[in-house]
Structure 1
Amino acid sequence: MKFQPAKPSLFGETLESLTERAVADGYKAFRAKQVMEWLYKKRVDDWEAMTNLPKDFRAWLADNYIIYPARPVLDKRSDDVTQKMLMELGDKSLIETVLIRAPQKGVGQEDSRKTVCVSIQVGCAYGCKFCASGLAGFRRNLMAAEVVAQLMHICRREDAHTERAREEIASFDNIVFMGMGEPLANYETLVRTIRILNADWGLNFGARRITVSTSGLAPQIEKLAEEGVAVRLAISLHGATNEVRDQIMPVNKRYPLEKLLPAVKAFQQKHGRMLTLEFILIEEVNDSLEQARELAKIARDLHAHVNCIPYNTVEGLPWKRPSIRRQDAFVDVLRKARVSVTIRREKGHDINAACGQLRLKTEEALSAEGYTTSKKS
């Protein structure tokens, strides 16, 4: 299903496309750049706040565009350092955006390093067996404006709580396409969004601080390598053999490791950056020492960092998190094989921070109260 709003959002425009449209309707080209400054540097959400624009041009903008295509409806903060925003889109669909803080010595929590996980689809069609995002099915792809708006809402929220001491426009340090949805399945939106974020008239956000996480769409990985955007790549591997991956990741039937790993290696060779292999540890599924040994082989071959993530329990799914002892034993195999590895202990469990959980619970609650959100196509 494709959602067509009554008016597009300005956050989906590039400087070039807005300039072209404004000039075609009789306005000066430089007005488009002024608009972008109001959007990205001053973060306004009201046409009347754009005070250096002529009244007739502001009226033209209001007639042809909206500013924000998404609005926060719930803002939850965990007991650790994780914050999740639930946002409602123009068709009443719900999406999630997560802000994760990494505390650093000598600075307060609000000034710590911040990573934003953004959604790029409503739901997900790829059906990873351990993930909440696909439980309600796939509804639609997001438009670039709906992705950019998530980040701008985070900027506005952080601006209100912290002093923007850095020279960068953004109020965070890293962006990860690792929220709801498969980024490479919404490829055109992904690339357009990255270009908007990277542009000096946009958020001026370095591509090397943007990570695209994929479940393994090999052809699109190869295509992304040729786009000329030097983003980081993370592979949601979660199984070091086809046998294990087939159990929990349906995408592996189409793109088994024999197809996926060469595409990943080609990306790595093109960009020369260390890759990340995401590996959610699930008890008695992929947490064996044999899986750890196979994962070590893959990581060494790809010159990849491994990010081990103990499973974040999802209500309604049968999977469990391994014990601390099993987690440590798994990681120890990787370290002894001289693989770069971190283990990310639980974050945000008390606010349902696993992808799609908060949205799913909210939709279930609304349904129980007689309210509806947009239906699955």
Structure 2
Amino acid sequence: MEKIDILGLNLEELQEKFLLAGLKKFNANQVFDWLHSKLEFNFDNFSNISKKDREILKKSFFVKKLEFKTHQISEDKETEKFLFELNDKKFIESVLITHKNRYTLCVSSQIGCLMNCDFCATALMGYERNLSVSEILLQYYYVQKNLLKRGKKLGNVVYMGMGEPFSNYCAVLSSINILNSEKGQNFSKRNFTISTSGVVPVIKKFTVDESQIHLAISLHSVRDEIRNQIMPINKTWNVNKLKEALLEYQKKTKNRITFEYILIDELNCEPKDARELAEFLSSFNCLVNLIPYNPVGGKIYKTPSKSKQREFYKILKDRNVNVTLRETKGQDIAAACGQLRAENQLEKNKITF
């Protein structure tokens, strides 16, 4: 009998598997508490489980490996990047961002990415595979455990790391539901955000499935010719199709949508672009995050000047757009937006806890 990845099972699934393995239903509640509340993954430490039942656990189940490799901290101490190795020797990255004593974890949902956005470092990796539910959860659990040692805890989780979350929809939603469980972390769904490049059919499914999880859109232009150039997904679902899906999402959920807009010099940050963006956004209750382009080795794109960034911001502000001009965080450790690439840096900046 093949062992089961126990961490990726919700409580109901765990109860079902336990009965099949010859364990009791109440044992599933105990084990779920050890795994998802106490964050203990060594079966031998489950002190309220009999030794006999722990042996059954070992025989029937396993906890998937997520091995910590390196930890880098930005100069301003506000961004931390974690490199993890998976069972199959592949690598992923997670980023912890500190803002006014609130901690936000940016998790990955895939090894690499299929979207092939031209400005993004992750695209240079190609695509390996989706992450499992447990591999997504373990990013959260590892960072949360280390924050707890500092007397802190996570406040938000954003699915904005490596990969397109809506290309791994079931695992992403399952991980959120487990983290939201009252018997686990009891982490409010209002504190999750999923970012997508615009997978329209999945946005429509998400509209039906969820009303509390926040949605962010990687937009970067409202002109098809530009978006086609930097985001191939736009050739399948263009700006109008994306807008239609988002209007339906907002009509049903009443949630504010976040639009991420990377400012790339000589491409999408002229006054005309700002005016067109403001017109597009006039239909939405939204927040726009303007993000100056973070350089990626091998890419031709450039960061616009500070004055150009401020002008773009002012045009939106003058048109009553709810907008922020994001201060770049983590660029010095390649942890800023669009820079995640999961390179093995075992000999560089290695810090252990």
Match of 1:102 in 2: 99
Alpha-carbon spacing, 1:359–1:74, altered in 2? closer, same or farther (3 Å) = farther
Match of 1:158 in 2: 147
SS at the partner of 2:81? strand
Aligned pairs (5 A) from 1:72-151: 72-80=68-76, 81-103=78-100, 112-151=101-140
Aligned pairs (5 A) from 1:320-335: 320-335=302-317
Does the alignment pair 1:186 with 2:168?
Answer: yes
Match of 2:7 in 1: 11
Shift of 1:363: 7.5
Does structure 2 retain, via aligned residues, the 8 Å contact 1:121–1:186? yes
Match of 1:167 in 2: none
Does structure 1 retain, via aligned residues, the 8 Å contact 2:294–2:338? no
Q: Aligned match of 2:51 in 38, 55, 64? A: 55
Q: Deviations over 1:200-242 (max 9, x none)?
A: 1222111111111000011110101111352111000011211
Does structure 1 retain, via aligned residues, the 8 Å contact 2:292–2:326? yes
Q: Distance in 2 between matches of 1:294 and 1:142?
A: 37
Q: Distance in 2 between matches of 1:14 and 1:229?
A: 20
Letter in 1 for 2:84: M
Letter in 2 for 1:16: E
Match of 1:247 in 2: 229
SS at the partner of 2:124? coil
Match of 2:194 in 1: 212
Structure 2, unmatched stretches of 5+, are: 349-353
Q: Distance in 2 between matches of 1:228 and 1:347?
A: 30
TM-score, normalised with respect to structure 1: 0.88
SS at the partner of 2:303? coil
SS at the partner of 1:259? helix
Match of 2:156 in 1: 174
Q: Distance in 2 between matches of 1:338 and 1:146?
A: 41
Q: Distance in 2 between matches of 1:364 and 1:50?
A: 33
Match of 1:297 in 2: 279
**Number of residue-to-residue matches in the alignment:** 346
SS at the partner of 2:88? coil
Does structure 2 retain, via aligned residues, the 8 Å contact 1:97–1:117? yes
Identity in percent: 40
SS at the partner of 1:285? coil
TM-score, normalised with respect to structure 2: 0.94
Does structure 2 retain, via aligned residues, the 8 Å contact 1:94–1:359? no
Q: Distance in 2 between matches of 1:229 and 1:34?
A: 30
Q: Aligned match of 2:30 in 31, 34, 37? A: 34
SS at the partner of 1:302? coil
